[in-house]
């Protein structure tokens, strides 16, 4: 396993950090208040080839390896959780088309998503269906050379803004994945506002009322929707989420170190108090542990190891729960200031909690990790 970054990866990490500090972090609070990401930021990310950095250069990416992509998403997550969510979702849809789509679908959409010409959304969750995705009720009925979609999707990131939607629907008892453009008759979206966290992710719900799409918009085959298309997309998003959680935790640690150095009580900086030192130490240890788990997952993904999926789940589970604990402690260390808008830790706390739910809840991760971990038997 790669425990130390290469010289190139360290150089890339410094570039990512500088980009985030200049372009993303200063406006994160504004984006959250507006509950939207501006078009200028999406364009900036596309110009930097960060929207889907893992795509090849001809498709608007950088051909980035997964460990380096993890470094990028960590830094972006430190700056703004919703921006990190944007690049995750664009990657989920672009790579789903790249892996499972037809040549025509790849030629039409992948580069447009990578270059920011098309914003994509991944639509699996429904009002009454979250973890139990196999029982989604949205339907697709083939009529001639079309599919007619009916149903309701909810909690869909960037539903308010996306041009292209990857919709999952049941077709004769089997799940299919379908590409639906925003301007398709029978397709409507509605915004969801006032969320706990990731408020700038432009989350919304989708209504499909006799929405007719060409049969050429089917991604893969009927029956591939959940076990192949959705599963590989969620695995990609899960890795992004894990690394983004390290970014949240790192942001909390840095903010807490700065605040406890400057804030004085009883005549000394509060970092001098032993219980504060204990909280900071716990942050340092857990940030480091979460980061190493993400490095391991990225390394195994680059090696195409069969254990990469399980390793990614472990990283996501640990990093998301650690980020929530660390963010909670960061708010505590900031006291009343941690509850107000002038410090980022309250935003980190709200965003961290969301990470324990998206791309598979912590409880689902626990179940899958236990199922996927082999029993090691002693010899003799």
The rounded distance, in Å, linking the Cα atoms of 174 and 224 is: 8
Q: Alpha carbon of 18 to those of 76, 79, 96, 113, 292: distances in Å?
A: 10, 11, 30, 24, 22
75 is catalytic: no
**Alpha-carbon torsion, ordered 243, 246, 252, 255, to 10 deg:** -80
205: its two tokens: 């719900």
Q: Which of 32, 74, 356, 359 is catalytic?
A: 359
Using alpha carbons, select from 140, 312, 149 the residue that is nearest to residue 231. 312
Nearest-angstrom CA–CA distance, 50 and 36: 19
Instruction: Name the strand (E) or helix (H) holding 57.
Output: none
**Cβ-contact 296, 259 below 8 angstroms:** no
CA distances for 175 relative to 134, 215, 369, angstroms: 8, 15, 24
Interior CA angle at 190 toward 189 and 193, to 5°? 140
Token couple for 342:
């002038």
Cα–Cα distance measured from residue 233 to residue 213, given in angstroms and rounded to the nearest whole number: 22
CA distance 231 to 134: 11
The answer to whether the CB of 200 falls within 8 A of the CB of 33 is no
Residues taking part in catalysis: 359
């Amino acid at each position: 396993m790669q425990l130390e970054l290469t010289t190139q990866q360290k150089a890339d990490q410094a570039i990512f950090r500088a980009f985030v500090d200049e372009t993303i972090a200063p406006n994160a609070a504004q984006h959250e208040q507006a509950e939207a990401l501006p078009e200028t930021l999406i364009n900036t990310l596309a110009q930097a080839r960060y929207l889907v950095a893992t795509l090849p250069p001809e498709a608007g990416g950088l051909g980035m390896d997964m460990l380096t992509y993890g470094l990028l998403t960590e830094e972006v997550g430190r700056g703004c959780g919703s921006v990190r969510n944007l690049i995750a979702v664009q990657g989920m849809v672009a790579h789903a088309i790249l892996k499972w789509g037809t040549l025509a679908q790849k030629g039409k959409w992948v580069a447009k998503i990578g270059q920011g010409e098309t914003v994509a959304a991944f639509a699996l969750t429904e009002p009454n269906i979250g973890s139990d995705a196999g029982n989604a009720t949205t339907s697709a009925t083939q009529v001639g050379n079309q599919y007619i979609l009916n149903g309701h999707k909810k909690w869909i990131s960037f539903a308010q803004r996306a041009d292209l939607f990857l919709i999952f629907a049941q077709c004769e008892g089997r799940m299919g994945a379908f590409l639906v453009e925003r301007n398709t008759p029978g397709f409507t979206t509605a915004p969801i506002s006032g969320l706990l966290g990731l408020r700038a992710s432009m989350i919304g719900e989708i209504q499909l009322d006799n929405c007719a799409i060409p049969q050429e918009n089917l991604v893969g085959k009927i029956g591939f929707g959940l076990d192949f298309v959705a599963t590989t997309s969620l695995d990609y998003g899960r890795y992004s989420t894990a690394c983004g959680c390290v970014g949240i935790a790192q942001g909390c640690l840095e903010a807490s170190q700065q605040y406890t150095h400057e804030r004085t009580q009883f005549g000394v900086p509060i970092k001098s108090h032993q219980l504060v030192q204990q909280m900071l130490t716990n942050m340092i240890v857990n940030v480091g542990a979460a980061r190493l788990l993400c490095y391991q997952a990225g390394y195994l993904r680059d090696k195409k190891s069969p254990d990469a999926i399980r390793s990614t789940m472990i990283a996501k589970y640990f990093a998301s729960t650690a980020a929530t604990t660390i963010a909670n402690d960061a708010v505590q260390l900031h006291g009343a200031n941690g509850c107000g808008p002038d410090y980022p830790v309250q935003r980190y706390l709200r965003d961290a909690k969301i990470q324990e739910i998206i791309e598979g809840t912590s409880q689902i991760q626990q179940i899958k990790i236990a199922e996927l971990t082999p029993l090691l038997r002693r010899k003799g």
